[in-house]
Structure 1
Amino acid sequence: LLAIMGSSGAGKTTLLNVLASRNLSGLYVTGSITIDGQRMNKWKLREISAFVQQHDMFVGTMTVREHLQFMAKLRMGSGYTTAEQKFRVEYLIRTMGLIDCAETLIGISNTVRGLSCGEMKRLAFATDMLTRPQIFFCDEPTSGLDAFMAGHVVASLRRLADDGMTVVITIHQPSSQVYSFFNDICLMACGRIIYLGPIDGANALFESCGYPCSDYFNPSDHFIRTISVVSGQRNISLRTISKGGLHFRNHVSFFVILIKEEIRPKMVERQRTFYNTNYKASFWTQLRALTWRCWLTTLRDPMVLKTRIVQTTCAIITGAVYYNTAVTSNTIISINGFLFNQVRNLNFMLQFPAVPAITMELPIVLRENSNGVYTSTSYFLGKNLAELPQYVVLPAIFNTIVYIMAGLLPSLWTFFCAVIVSVLLTNVATSISYATATIFGTTTVATTVLPIFVVPMMAFGGFFITYESIPKYFTWLSTLSYFKYAYEGLAINQWETVDVIPGCLNHTGKYFDCPKTGSEVLESVR
Structure 2
Amino acid sequence: MPQLCTRETRQMQHSCSCMSDFNVRTVTNACFVSIMAATELVQIEDGTVQEKLLTRMALEFTNISFKGELKGDKRKIILDNVSGRFSPGRLTAILGPSGAGKSSLLNILSGFKKHGVIGSVMVNGETLSDEAFRNKCVYIPQDFDLLELLTVMEILDYAAELKMTNSSSRMVRKKKVNDILDVLGLRRSMATLVKNLSGGEKKRLSIGMELITNPPIILLDEPTSGLDSVSALQLVSYIKSLAEEGRTIVSVIHQPASSLFKHFDDLFLLSAGKCIYSGPIDGMVSSFAEAGFHCPKYYNRADFALEVASMLNSPGLELLALKYNNSDAYVRTSMDGEFSGRNNIGTPYRNTCLAVKSRRKYAVPQWKQFEILLSRSLRSTIRDFFFAQLRVIAHVIVGFLLGIVFYNAGKDASSVMTNTAGIFFFHIFIFYGNSMPCTITFPQETKVFVREHLNNWYSLEAYYLSKIFADLPLQFICPTLFVLISYYLTGQPLEPFRFAMFWTMCLLLGIFAQTVGLLSGAAFDIQMATFFVPCLSIPALLFSGFFVKSYEMLEFLRPLSYVSFFRYSMQGSMQAIYGYNRTDFPCSQIMCYYNRPGKYLKFMDTPEEGIELNMAALVGFIVLFQVLLYISLRRRLKIFQ
How far apart are 1:425 and its partner, in Å? 1.0
Does the residue aligned with 2:324 lie in a helix, a strand or coil? coil
Alignment equivalent of 1:410, drawn from 457, 475, 494: 494
2:17 alignment partner in structure 1: none
Supply the distance in 2 between the matched residues of 1:18 and 1:486 (Cα, whole angstroms).
Answer: 48
Identity, in percent, stands at 27
How far apart are 1:172 and its partner, in Å? 2.5
Q: Are residue 470 (structure 1) and residue 559 (structure 2) matched? A: no
Distance 1:481 1:127, change over 3 A: same
Alignment equivalent of 1:443, drawn from 495, 512, 526: 526
How far apart are 1:115 and its partner, in Å? 1.4
1:339 alignment partner in structure 2: 423
How far apart are 1:246 and its partner, in Å? 8.9
Q: Are residue 514 (structure 1) and residue 602 (structure 2) matched? A: no
Supply the distance in 2 between the matched residues of 1:243 and 1:516 (Cα, whole angstroms).
Answer: 93
Deviates more, 1:319-328 or 1:175-184: 319-328
1:111 alignment partner in structure 2: none
1:84 alignment partner in structure 2: 172
Q: Are residue 69 (structure 1) and residue 157 (structure 2) matched? A: yes
Alignment of 1:417-456 (within 5 A): 417-439=501-523, 441-456=524-539
Task: Give the strand-richer structure, 1 or 2.
Answer: 2
Alignment equivalent of 1:379, drawn from 455, 458, 463: 463
Instruction: Identify unmatched segments of 5+ residues in structure 2.
Output: 1-90, 338-355, 606-641
Distance 1:58 1:476, change over 3 A: same
2:88 alignment partner in structure 1: none
Which amino acid in the other structure matches residue 386 of structure 1?
Answer: A
How far apart are 1:392 and its partner, in Å? 0.8
Contact 2:275–2:325 under 8 Å retained in 1 = yes
Contact 2:149–2:380 under 8 Å retained in 1 = yes
Contact 2:135–2:455 under 8 Å retained in 1 = no
Which amino acid in the other structure matches residue 145 of structure 1?
Answer: L
Supply the distance in 2 between the matched residues of 1:524 and 1:80 (Cα, whole angstroms).
Answer: 67
1:268 alignment partner in structure 2: none
Supply the distance in 2 between the matched residues of 1:351 and 1:64 (Cα, whole angstroms).
Answer: 30
Which amino acid in the other structure matches residue 425 of structure 2?
Answer: N
How far apart are 1:516 and its partner, in Å? 4.5
Contact 2:276–2:321 under 8 Å retained in 1 = no
Supply the distance in 2 between the matched residues of 1:245 and 1:223 (Cα, whole angstroms).
Answer: 14
Alignment equivalent of 1:5, drawn from 95, 98, 103: 95
Contact 2:427–2:509 under 8 Å retained in 1 = yes
Contact 1:74–1:286 under 8 Å retained in 2 = yes
TM-score normalised by structure 1 residue count: 0.86
How far apart are 1:84 and its partner, in Å? 2.1
1:26 alignment partner in structure 2: 116
Supply the distance in 1 between the matched residues of 2:208 and 2:484 (Cα, whole angstroms).
Answer: 48
Distance 1:245 1:329, change over 3 A: closer
1:266 alignment partner in structure 2: none
Supply the distance in 1 between the matched residues of 2:502 and 2:148 (Cα, whole angstroms).
Answer: 37
Does the residue aligned with 1:85 lie in a helix, a strand or coil? helix
Contact 1:192–1:250 under 8 Å retained in 2 = no
Does the residue aligned with 1:40 lie in a helix, a strand or coil? coil
Q: Are residue 154 (structure 1) and residue 236 (structure 2) matched? A: yes
2:104 alignment partner in structure 1: 14
Supply the distance in 2 between the matched residues of 1:194 and 1:245 (Cα, whole angstroms).
Answer: 5
1:241 alignment partner in structure 2: 317
Distance 1:244 1:95, change over 3 A: closer
Contact 1:54–1:140 under 8 Å retained in 2 = yes
Contact 1:209–1:246 under 8 Å retained in 2 = no
Contact 1:50–1:129 under 8 Å retained in 2 = no
Contact 1:504–1:514 under 8 Å retained in 2 = no
Alignment of 1:266-277 (within 5 A): 274-275=357-358
Q: How many residues align?
A: 495
1:293 alignment partner in structure 2: 376
Deviates more, 1:280-289 or 1:58-67: 280-289
Post-superposition Cα deviations, 1:339-384, rounded to whole Å, max 9, x if no partner, equal 2222222122222222112222222222223333223332222122
Q: Are residue 195 (structure 1) and residue 261 (structure 2) matched? A: no
How far apart are 1:438 and its partner, in Å? 2.5
Supply the distance in 1 between the matched residues of 2:193 and 2:428 (Cα, whole angstroms).
Answer: 36
How far apart are 1:133 and its partner, in Å? 1.0
Distance 1:450 1:252, change over 3 A: farther
How far apart are 1:517 and its partner, in Å? 3.3
How far apart are 1:219 and its partner, in Å? 2.1
Supply the distance in 2 between the matched residues of 1:186 and 1:158 (Cα, whole angstroms).
Answer: 16
Deviates more, 1:16-25 or 1:346-355: 16-25
Alignment of 1:36-185 (within 5 A): 37-107=125-195, 114-185=196-267
Supply the distance in 2 between the matched residues of 1:318 and 1:132 (Cα, whole angstroms).
Answer: 57
2:31 alignment partner in structure 1: none
Distance 1:481 1:20, change over 3 A: closer
How far apart are 1:38 and its partner, in Å? 3.2
Deviates more, 1:405-414 or 1:367-376: 367-376
Post-superposition Cα deviations, 1:406-442, rounded to whole Å, max 9, x if no partner, equal 1211223322332222111111122122223323x12
How far apart are 1:139 and its partner, in Å? 1.9
How far apart are 1:475 and its partner, in Å? 2.3
Contact 2:163–2:213 under 8 Å retained in 1 = yes
Supply the distance in 2 between the matched residues of 1:92 and 1:498 (Cα, whole angstroms).
Answer: 67
Supply the distance in 2 between the matched residues of 1:325 and 1:311 (Cα, whole angstroms).
Answer: 20
Contact 1:142–1:150 under 8 Å retained in 2 = yes
How far apart are 1:245 and its partner, in Å? 11
1:265 alignment partner in structure 2: none
Deviates more, 1:80-89 or 1:152-161: 80-89
Supply the distance in 1 between the matched residues of 2:132 and 2:470 (Cα, whole angstroms).
Answer: 34
Cα-Cα RMSD: 2.7
Q: Are residue 258 (structure 1) and residue 342 (structure 2) matched? A: no
Supply the distance in 2 between the matched residues of 1:293 and 1:515 (Cα, whole angstroms).
Answer: 53
Does the residue aligned with 2:585 lie in a helix, a strand or coil? coil
Supply the distance in 2 between the matched residues of 1:345 and 1:245 (Cα, whole angstroms).
Answer: 62
Contact 1:210–1:244 under 8 Å retained in 2 = no
Distance 1:505 1:446, change over 3 A: closer
Contact 1:48–1:135 under 8 Å retained in 2 = yes
Which amino acid in the other structure matches residue 181 of structure 1?
Answer: H
Deviates more, 1:468-477 or 1:66-75: 468-477
Distance 1:427 1:173, change over 3 A: same
How far apart are 1:276 and its partner, in Å? 5.6
Which amino acid in the other structure matches residue 258 of structure 1?
Answer: T
Supply the distance in 2 between the matched residues of 1:208 and 1:475 (Cα, whole angstroms).
Answer: 79
TM-score normalised by structure 2 residue count: 0.72
Contact 1:209–1:245 under 8 Å retained in 2 = no
Supply the distance in 2 between the matched residues of 1:139 and 1:474 (Cα, whole angstroms).
Answer: 53
Which amino acid in the other structure matches residue 165 of structure 1?
Answer: R
Contact 2:137–2:218 under 8 Å retained in 1 = yes
Distance 1:85 1:259, change over 3 A: farther
How far apart are 1:260 and its partner, in Å? 6.0
How far apart are 1:16 and its partner, in Å? 3.2
Supply the distance in 2 between the matched residues of 1:412 and 1:451 (Cα, whole angstroms).
Answer: 34
Post-superposition Cα deviations, 1:439-477, rounded to whole Å, max 9, x if no partner, equal 3x1222222232222112112222222333333322222
